[in-house]
Amino acid sequence: MGGHAAFVWPAYAVSALGLGGLAFFIWRRDSRVRARLRALEERRAENPRGEA
């Protein structure tokens, strides 16, 4: 790499960690949103016409 390996490989590592972190946070938020949607759907099934 013409003497630039000391800069290139850490840049790859930082990029991979950043992308991995983003994927993790997206996965975690997706889990929470799906759980909330499931709860809302269950609540709707118990009271289909929106009666109090």
Closest of 7, 26, 25, 3 to residue 15, by C-alpha:
7
CA 23 to chain centre: 5
DSSP 51: -
* pLDDT, position 4: 94
User: Average pLDDT, whole number, for the chain?
Assistant: 93
pTM confidence score = 0.68
Closest of 13, 9, 11, 10 to residue 1, by C-alpha:
9
Tokens of 4: 């630039």
Q: What percent of the chain has pLDDT over 70?
A: 94
pLDDT digits (tens, 9 = 90+) for 19-43: 999 999 999 999 999 999 999 999 9
Q: Rounded to whole angstroms, how far apart are CA atoms 42 and 52? A: 15
